[in-house]
């Protein structure tokens, strides 16, 4: 089944979607009566909140659209739990959603490590999970027992790196270095960088890592400078990436930096300020796309312009809920394998995320939704997010 979304984005100012950071707020079971409960597990507080909160708001906006439009024969209730980007807390949240909240599916989250921890809990209970934002390649593993019930709406790390490598090829740097945090996102990103660059005849001269939520990255910056790096691939979450860029700026090091998609975080902008000017990073937002512009207008009216200034995480969340809704209609509101089978037939031809002309579809047969040419690239200009290019080819790995 194929669906376009633009019409629903005119719906703004409607009543808030049911959401509770401590769990559900009453109501019927997952698919009983007139209410379907859908879970979201993600960081609503802490260092990754600028990933998790916009995602929650994107889900809420989609739920408002669905409930107000009457597209479904049911009412969607969003059940949100804050896992603080902690894998142990994320797994516990999943267990509670399954046993107490009776959700029909779980969406989220932004952090790869917590998704790896909660996915077995969710899928072993026969519940579908849609990975909305997290990008580690290993989240979709055909050898995993939960593969049949796990779907990834966003592009993975190798997809991002496969498009980004073109910037390094075009510049013909003599020395390319990489930096990443020690999370699953960062380390799987380094693995993707090394593999993709090797396939393109490029060597990564030096790689350094750091703990997440770092307060001082001076040793890492000096190590890379002293190694003679002409360019840096920065694959860290927003707060840490901002600390890195501020340190580069403070020591007066003139080096080209290209980042990973986590740099779309509001936290990066608020901490780095104009120290991030000129940095390039992948995005899924195309400002020349009509459905995207409509979404941004609706989201800004509801949550303000500063809530998700690069729009990436809220847009992916919105599209994830819309794909789930189409799957629910296709499964006659049954969960489990029936829902998984129905999701395999869903295509969004005019999603709010993705470059104009791209699509989201689980019909590719590998449980990953983005089509070719899904990515755009953004930058920082005068301390603000701005679209850089929407014409760089990108190919599904």
Q: What is the CATH number of the domain that holds 210?
A: 3.40.50.2300
Clarify whether residues 198 and 301 are in a common domain.
no
Residues 54, 99, single domain; the answer is yes
Alpha carbon distance 367, 152 (integer Å): 6
The reply to whether 371 falls in a domain is: no
Residue 98 near residue 125, CB atoms below 8 Å = yes
19 and 63 co-located in one domain: yes
pLDDT tens track for 338-358 = 999 999 999 999 999 999 999
Tell me: do 183 and 235 sit in the same domain: yes
pLDDT in the model for residue 159:
98
Identify whether 82 is part of a domain. Answer: yes
Give Cα 279 to chain centroid, integer Å.
Answer: 19
Q: Which two tokens stand for residue 6?
A: 């633009």
| pLDDT single digits (tens) 208-257 | 999 999 999 999 999 999 999 999 999 999 999 999 999 999 999 999 99
Same domain, 238 and 181: yes
Rg, Å, the chain Cα set? 20
Identify whether 395 is part of a domain: no
pLDDT tens for 299-319 read: 999 999 999 999 999 999 999
Residue from 132, 127, 113, 131 nearest 55 by CA: 132
Is 332 inside a domain boundary?
yes
For residues 214 and 340, membership in a common domain is answered with no
Question: Is the pLDDT reported for residue 19 higher than 60?
Answer: no
The model's pLDDT over 173-196, given as tens digits with 9 standing for 90+, comes to 999 999 999 999 999 999 999 999
Domain count, the chain: 2
Banded pLDDT at 26 (limits 50, 70, 90): very low
Q: Which residues pair with 176 in a beta bridge?
A: 204, 231
Q: Does residue 176 sit in the same domain as residue 192?
A: yes
pLDDT digits (tens, 9 = 90+) for 252-284: 999 999 999 999 999 999 999 999 999 999 999
156-166 pLDDT tens trace: 999 999 999 99
Count the residues in the chain. 397
Determine the Cα–Cα distance for residues 218 and 249; give it in Å rounded to an integer: 11
Shared domain for 138 and 18, answered yes or no, is: yes
Q: Are residues 95 and 164 in the same domain?
A: no
CA-to-CA distance for 115 and 218, rounded, in angstroms? 31
Residue 73 DSSP code: S
| Full domain range(s) for residue 197 | 157-283+378-389
The predicted model scores a pTM of 0.93
Is position 31 within any domain?
yes
**Helix (H, G, I), strand (E, B), or coil: what is residue 270?**
helix
303 shares its domain with 272 = no
- Looking at the fold, whether 123 and 133 belong to one and the same domain comes out as yes
- Examine residue 204 and state whether it is found in any structural domain, yes or no: yes
Handedness of CA 215, 252, 192, 309 (dihedral sign): positive
How much is the pLDDT for 260?
Answer: 98
User: What 8-state DSSP symbol labels residue 22?
Assistant: B
Does the pLDDT value for residue 27 go beyond 50?
A: no
Do 221 and 115 fall within a single domain?
A: no
């Amino acid at each position: 089944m194929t669906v376009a979304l633009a019409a629903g984005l005119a719906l703004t100012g409607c009543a808030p979607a049911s959401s509770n950071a401590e769990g559900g707020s009453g109501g019927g079971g997952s698919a009983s009566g007139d209410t379907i409960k859908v879970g979201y597990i993600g960081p609503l507080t802490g260092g990754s909140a600028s990933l998790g909160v916009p995602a929650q708001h994107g889900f809420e906006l989609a739920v408002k659209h669905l409930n107000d439009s009457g597209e479904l024969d049911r009412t969607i209730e969003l059940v949100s739990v804050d896992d603080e980007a902690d894998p142990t807390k994320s797994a516990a949240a999943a267990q509670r959603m399954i046993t107490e909240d009776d959700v029909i599916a779980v969406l989220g989250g932004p952090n790869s490590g917590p998704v790896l921890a909660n996915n077995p809990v969710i899928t072993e209970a026969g519940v579908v999970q849609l990975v909305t934002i997290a990008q580690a390649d290993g989240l979709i593993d055909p050898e995993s027992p939960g593969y049949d019930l796990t779907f990834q709406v966003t592009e993975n790390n190798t997809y991002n790196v496969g498009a980004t490598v073109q910037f390094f090829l075009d510049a013909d740097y003599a020395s390319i270095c990489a930096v990443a945090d020690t999370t699953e996102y960062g380390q799987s990103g380094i693995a993707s960088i090394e593999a993709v660059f090797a396939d393109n005849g490029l060597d990564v001269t030096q790689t350094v890592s750091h703990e997440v939520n770092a307060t001082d990255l001076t040793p890492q910056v000096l190590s890379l400078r002293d190694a003679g790096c002409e360019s840096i691939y920065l694959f860290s979450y927003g707060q840490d990436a901002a600390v890195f860029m501020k340190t580069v700026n403070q020591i007066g090091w003139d080096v080209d930096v290209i980042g990973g998609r986590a740099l779309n975080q509001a936290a990066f902008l608020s901490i780095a300020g104009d120290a991030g000017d000129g940095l390039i990073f992948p995005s899924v937002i195309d400002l020349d796309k009509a459905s995207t512009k409509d979404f941004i207008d609706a989201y800004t009216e509801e949550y303000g312009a500063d809530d998700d200034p690069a729009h990436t995480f809220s847009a992916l969340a919105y599209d994830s809920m819309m794909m789930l809704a189409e799957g629910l209609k296709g499964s006659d509101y049954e969960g489990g394998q029936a829902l998984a089978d129905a999701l395999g037939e869903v295509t969004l031809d005019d999603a709010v995320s993705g470059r104009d002309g791209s699509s989201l579809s689980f019909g590719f047969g590998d449980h990953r939704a983005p089509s070719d040419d899904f990515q755009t690239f953004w930058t920082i200009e005068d301390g603000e997010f701005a679209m850089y290019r929407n014409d760089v080819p990108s190919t599904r790995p």
